[in-house]
Amino acid sequence: MAEAHNGARRLERIHFLSSGTPAADEARARLVGRYGDVHSDEADVAVALGGDGLMLQTLHRFMGRGIPIYGMNRGSVGFLMNEFRETGLRKRLAQAQSTIINPLKMATETTRGEIREARAVNEVSLLRQSAQAAKLRIFVDGQIRLAELTADGVLLATPAGSTAYNLSAGGPILPIEAPLMALTPISAFRPRHWRGALLSSKAEVVIEVLETEKRPVAAVADHTEFRDIARVVAALDDTTGLELLHDPGHSMEERILREQFRH
């Protein structure tokens, strides 16, 4: 991960996206009238108008395409977004700070032997899909680290995702440039004392589901869900960089630092 100014890059051709709410649609119409709008294939930058949910969808949509994303808040939650202003957009884009984040890649095997893959910007989660708690076995780099975890589930979060579901589950907030991932249990029953682990960003995590028929488990990569899972392999994809743009003084690094001092 890295953070820097845009330098001499010109971000003139803008593709605007809306979350579909009346406020976001109205903002998009005004901005398109002022700055024009190009197809995503021709854009220098994508400007997302909505909340963090839209930002997550936009990052997935443009994954691997090398197009920076600049969000403006027209939703209820805007941790990843910049303040909405109609004027001065091209100047803001030219002065914006750039943060490169890497997604997680998840490979799952279902109880029927099907192999499915997905990417996650925030986290990969394993979640019980019935009234029974999940029973999971956790390997890190081929070594068993937890022979049996009984819990509602477990998640593996990136630094960018550490302030999302991970934080709600009691996991740590990670600085955006930290070469770490957070492995966090969700409502752990046994072992009760285990609060999770900090792992190297180069680690490979394998999670096996125990008692799959009695205790079915789903695997979720951000918004992509696969059910009846037997095994999940997750690791950071350092070959895929996603670029977020933020106004000076409001970078991802600064936002995550502020989050640690909220009270």
Enumerate the known binding-site residues: 52-53, 122-123, 152, 160, 163-168
Contact 150, 135 (CB under 8 A): yes
d(CA 35, CA 70): 15
DSSP alpha helices (H): ranges in the chain? Answer: 22-35, 52-61, 89-95, 165-168, 252-259
Annotated binding residues for NAD(+), written as ranges, equal 52-53, 122-123, 152, 160, 163-168
* Per annotation, catalytic residue among 25, 41, 52, 247: 52
H or E, element range at 156: strand 143-157
Active site residue 52: yes
Could you tell me whether strands 197-200 and 123-128 are parallel, antiparallel, or unpaired per DSSP bridges?
unpaired
d(CA 181, CA 92): 31
Active site residues: 52
